Amino acid sequence: MTNNKGESILDLVIKNGLIIDGNERPRYKADIGVKDGKIVEIKNNIEVYDVAEVIDAEGKMVAPGFIDTHTHSDVMLLWDRQHASGLYQGITTEILGQDGLSYAPLSKRNLEMYSKYLAGLNGRPDIPWDWSSVKEYREKFDKTVAINTAYQVPHGALRLETVGMADVPLNGVDMEKAKALLSQGLEEGAVAFSTGLSYFPGSYSDTDELVELCQVVAEHDSVYVTHTRSVFRGEPFDPNMEAIEIAERSGAKLHFSHFRTTPETAGKVDELMQDIDDAYQRGIDLTLELYPYPAGSGYAVIFLPPWAVEHGYEATLERLADRSLRKRIIEGIQDNLIKCDGHFTHLTKNRQYIGKNFVEVANERGQSVPDMICDILLEENLEVGFYTTPPDPETWETMNRDFLELLSRPYYMVGSDGIPLGENPHPRAFGTFPRLLRFCREYDFSLEKMINRMTKVPALRFGLKDRGTIGKGKAADIVIFDFDNVTDTATYELSRSAPRGIEYVIVNGRVAVRNEKVTGIFAGEALSRAL
């Protein structure tokens, strides 16, 4: 399109920036021209004619919009459509449906039950819960929210739709139905299949079940994304080898969720990665992601023993209320809680405990920690979030270096595992990406490499066409940041603090963050996997 002088009319021009294009090539200075949501020009000295907006990026880095490969925004994003916690980090695309825990495909009855069961993860936002299929759920996010989204078919939903919240095998007619639902979800635009093998109902499955489901994934040339398990039916278990076995037997591509060292394994990257590196060397198609924090987060239902949550929300509350079962429940959760030392992040009826650790709350109430957790879950109707306690500073520093060593591998990427729920959630939901940019500055890690892990690597892995790099014809998802000053400010104590230095965020050619403030536009698209 040209004006009456024959000159191109652009919607947006970014001038004088240092472009890091996502390909790991050295940064270079050029202007970028945007039209109709696409990058149409990259060259020096683009002339400005009839341009709606010009951004002077002199001295700033211009990169592809960041892709958060692991987030639990899901229905929270339909309630908080602006999603400032993501935009302020430079995130332009989030991948939902993680850990086998999400909301489609589900019947109306199962959606009602599961939304209550997962309330500690996503709350129970006041939105229309009126979808069933993956297609209908994905459409809820298309041009109605501020960021792009992609979706994974969650294993938990497949089990609920076939055998329910029950510790039974998935086989026969039920398996065929689950496979059909998985195939339909992938055909309706899902980018992967996810499992959460530490969570119910996914933890009820065995390896053979997952192999059979992943054969469907392989048929669609898609990805098996797994939160692995460390215990199976009460016995120690090798989670990495199970995931690798599933990939080998099924032929599916493999992706490990939030895979990093822990306080117990800090400094032992080679030992941690041995089986995975061996599998990669022998040709297993695998990738991994991490977030740069030493402590995790979750929803407190996971502390309960498997039998206590069978048959879902109402049955779980009934068991928690039955004092004759309390001793048995406590015996089943004692080990998990001893290892956890958590802090509450989300409560609706006991808000005075938010930010306090479990021992402190138990002492206030005159209870043991397991007994307190049972009562809090009952009082809150299961809507309880927590994070685990960070380690000592020396271990934390060791883990920071571990994260960068892992990200030096070409098959690693970044996923916040963000849960933006509650008054004091885990800071990873607000600081993951700027934190890693700060690490590049402080630990002398290649910025070009880090941007590649945040953009191109995930775009290729999950088939996000035209995303992840800056180039002519690519979607205009762009972030502009001040590398000298970019930093996270969210802490475990003040987790909702916005980062500094992410100055502009552009989603599909529209400015979603200007001068570090959200603009209120909803330009996000529901993305599907390009084959």
Concatenating the DSSP letter of every residue in 465-478 gives: TT-SS--TTSB--E
- For residue 5, is pLDDT > 60? no
pLDDT of residue 491: 96
Q: pLDDT for 439-479, tens place per residue? A: 999 999 999 999 999 999 999 999 999 999 999 999 999 99
- For residue 6, is pLDDT > 90? no
Q: pLDDT for 25-62, tens place per residue? A: 999 999 999 999 999 999 999 998 778 899 999 999 99
3-state helix, strand, coil in the chain (%, to 5): 35, 20, 40
| Spans of all domains in the chain | 66-295+396-464, 298-388
* pLDDT grade for 311, boundaries at 50, 70 and 90: very high
Residue 223 amino acid letter: V
CB atoms within 10 A of CB 234: 9
More confident residue, 176 or 4: 176
Q: pLDDT for 509-526, tens place per residue? A: 999 999 999 999 999 999
Mean pLDDT value across the chain: 95
Question: Model pTM greater than 0.85?
Answer: yes
Q: What is the mean pLDDT of residues 421-442?
A: 97
CA-CA distances (angstroms) from residue 154 to 31, 185, 285, 349? 41, 10, 21, 30
* pLDDT grade for 2, boundaries at 50, 70 and 90: low
CA distance 277 to 309: 36
Lowest mean pLDDT among 42-56, 121-135, 273-287, 369-383: 42-56
More confident residue, 334 or 266: 266
CATH architecture classification, 66-295+396-464: Alpha-Beta Barrel (3.20)
Q: Percentage of the chain with pLDDT > 90? A: 92
pLDDT of residue 162: 98
pLDDT of residue 115: 96
- For residue 124, is pLDDT > 60? yes
Shortest CA distance to 505 belongs to which of 485, 472, 478?
478
HSE, CB side, 13 Å, CA atoms: give it for residue 386.
24
Supply 143's token pair: 């041009």
pLDDT of residue 530: 86
Question: For every residue of 254-274, which 3-state class applies, written as one string?
Answer: EEECCCCCCCCCCCCHHHHHH
pLDDT of residue 1: 42
Q: What is the mean pLDDT of residues 187-209?
A: 97
Q: What is the mean pLDDT of residues 491-506?
A: 97
Q: What is the mean pLDDT of residues 93-112?
A: 98
Q: pLDDT for 246-301, tens place per residue? A: 999 999 999 999 999 999 999 999 999 999 999 999 999 999 999 999 999 999 99
Q: What is the mean pLDDT of residues 352-370?
A: 96
Phi-psi region of 503 (alpha: psi -120 to 50; beta: other; left: phi over 0): alpha
Q: What is the mean pLDDT of residues 333-348?
A: 81
More confident residue, 479 or 2: 479
CA distance 65 to 192: 21
Find out whether 417 and 259 touch, Cβ atoms under 8 Å: no
- For residue 336, is pLDDT > 80? no
Q: What is the mean pLDDT of residues 146-152?
A: 99
- For residue 205, is pLDDT > 60? yes
